Structure 1
Amino acid sequence: MKIRTPATDLLGIDLPIVQAGMSWASSASALPLAVSSAGGLGVVAAGPMRLPDLSRVLDEVEHGTDRPFAVNLPLYRRGADEVMDLLVARRPRVLIASQGGPRRYLSRFRDVGTICLHVVTGVEHAVKAAEAGVDGLVVVGAEAGGHPAPNQVSTLVVVRAVAAAVPQLPVIASGGFADGAGLAAALALGAGAVQFGTRFLLSAEANVHRAYQESVLRAGIDGTRLVGRDLGPVRALANEFVERMVKLEENGADLEARRAEFTRSTLRMAAHEGDVVHGKVEAGQSAGLIDSILPAGQIVRLLAEEYAATLGRLPQPE
């Protein structure tokens, strides 16, 4: 099956399905390789990776498929400039950059032919990224896991607003999507593809501790909280860390007290070590829509099949 949109044309993929660049979960080759091989866009998450590990994973994905894949780079990470040096030398087909401005990287990657997508959470930054010359946008709403929009505007609203503000750019919608019905909804809003995070977090190839996956699998749609106001907020499952942060925020604790608690807990604790009590168990609200851990290639195929079935159920004008 193929579903053609401006985003699939830009990226050279068969289906408008993008696997989110999730630290640890896709900081290895298995998940992005499976998604790209199935016709979507797999994404290597460079955020927590050392340079030798990143180079090795890029080799593994390049040798494992001839289909396009992307690298996600959070620009705030320590050593981001060194990572950019490595990536420019590797000439990735697609770069997805987040947590920073596009002018920092754009000319270097455009010079080597890389397609540059920039992550935004609102219209203002979308317009600025478009003016800077990016090739497309990943638009993240409040439902997303990890680092969603701090203003808590929903994906339904922000994607529609950005698509109207920068109609010349392909938009990839992110936050709250778990199935083919969500894919159909996003395309109806004006997006050209959907980025799925939590759905691929719950895949057989995700490079995370089983305890992390089981916690997310048990979660309902109301099982996450957005915490870390003024600190780069994260959406994570409710646990002891989240409860402590909520209490500090509700009691009006000063910034440094909140920062100390916020930085004491890490995603690594949950995703790599399996500490789902004290770690940041990052996940989106769509966790409550997912009831199975499946191979990533099967997830891609199901999303496409569900999309087609959704279109068939929609009422037609008389």
Structure 2
Amino acid sequence: MTATMNFPSRLPGLLGIRHPIVQGGMSWASSSAPLALAVSRAGALGVIAAGPMRPDDLVEAIRAVKAGTDAPFALNVPLYNKRSAEFLDIAEAERVPVIIASQGGPKALPRFRAYGAKWLHVVASPLHAQKADAAGVDGLIVVGGDAGGHPAPDEVSAMVLVRAVVKAGVKAPVIGAGGVADGAGIAAMFALGAEGAQLGTRFLMTEEASVHPAYKEAVRRAGLSDTTLVGRGGLPVRQLRNLFTAEVDAAERAGHAKELLAELYMSRTLKHAALEGDVERGKVEAGQTAGLIDDIPPAAEVVAKLVAEAEAARLRLAGGAA
């Protein structure tokens, strides 16, 4: 019998999933079918990351997930991306059941409501959460500064930010993201008033995540203080410290002009690390939870363990057997 998490949440009924757990949409790591498919089969919400994908590859990945499971899955679309309109057109044509949008407003929401899709919106402040909520989104993914990739630019942690959004009185269910690596972290998000949790780095560190083995090994070796934020003042990225981040830090300390800093920041990409395995000079995106993770199991095992750990945490806090 499949274990369950007995936390109050609207997400299973809203999204058609068994567990209120969302796999973070991670460029390259989930820009293909295997990870999203494995997570959705396991009862959580698997997510394809459209960001770096070519249109034909995106269609192929969506259809592969559909062919592999009847369970819901999501497409993550960064709205600032120059191809975001094309991504949304593909999602609509392929009838993707859940859209996760970030870095922009939910203007396209009515198109997806028309065929019954759900829209989750990524936010990084109470104000943005209130605006998205007022627009009628189905859920809010609140990302703290401890998350990998592009977290809250003001670096407020998920522990504080999630609570602030809940206290702001939004009506849509809140999904906490950042700093969650296990079931205890999921339970903490519920304690803050969230109704689910999104995990990125934990699912990055699975067999199905499609990044270079050197990337996973670098994250596996990372300690609690081995991530940093680069690109402050623009679209910052949390990644592992390496030669690239040291170069950026030295340039900032030397007081180089913003234009030179921006050129340096753009000189290296996530692709260099994720596909080519250059973990010394590429952007090895990972959250602070890298310091809590030291294994690379199948994604289905991760989901099952998260559910069991979260329920054990709930029982422990309730004074029952854990």
Normalising by structure 2, we get a TM-score of 0.96
Distance apart, 1:235 and its partner CA: 0.2
Count the aligned residue pairs.
Answer: 316
1:100 aligns to 2:104 (yes or no): yes
Mapping for residues 146-157 of structure 1, pairs under 5 Å:
146-157=149-160
In structure 2, distance between residues paired with 1:159 and 1:30? 30
Q: Which amino acid aligns with 1:261?
A: L
In structure 2, distance between residues paired with 1:92 and 1:273? 30
Distance apart, 1:268 and its partner CA: 0.3
Mapping for residues 77-92 of structure 1, pairs under 5 Å:
77-92=81-96
1:5 paired residue number:
9
**Cα deviations across residues 196-238 of structure 1 (Å, max 9, x unaligned)?**
1000000000000000000000001110001101220000000
Specify which of 302, 310, 313 is matched with residue 316 of structure 2.
313
1:226 paired residue number:
229
Contact 2:150 2:238 in 1 (8 A): yes
In structure 2, distance between residues paired with 1:315 and 1:110? 39
Identify which range, 6-15 or 68-77, moves more after superposition.
6-15
In structure 2, distance between residues paired with 1:92 and 1:218? 36
In structure 2, distance between residues paired with 1:306 and 1:101? 35
**Cα deviations across residues 150-198 of structure 1 (Å, max 9, x unaligned)?**
1111100110111121341111110010000001100111111110100
Mapping for residues 1-318 of structure 1, pairs under 5 Å:
1-3=3-5, 5-103=9-107, 105-314=108-317, 316=319
Uncovered stretches (5+) of structure 2, i.e. residues with no partner: none
Distance apart, 1:92 and its partner CA: 1.0
Contact 2:49 2:76 in 1 (8 A): yes
Match of 1:309, SS state, is: helix
In structure 2, distance between residues paired with 1:178 and 1:301? 13
Give the RMSD, CA atoms, in angstroms: 1.3
In structure 2, distance between residues paired with 1:126 and 1:249? 32
In structure 1, distance between residues paired with 2:158 and 2:92? 32
Match of 2:161, SS state, is: helix
In structure 2, distance between residues paired with 1:118 and 1:245? 31
Distance apart, 1:300 and its partner CA: 0.1
Contact 2:4 2:308 in 1 (8 A): no
Contact 2:32 2:48 in 1 (8 A): yes
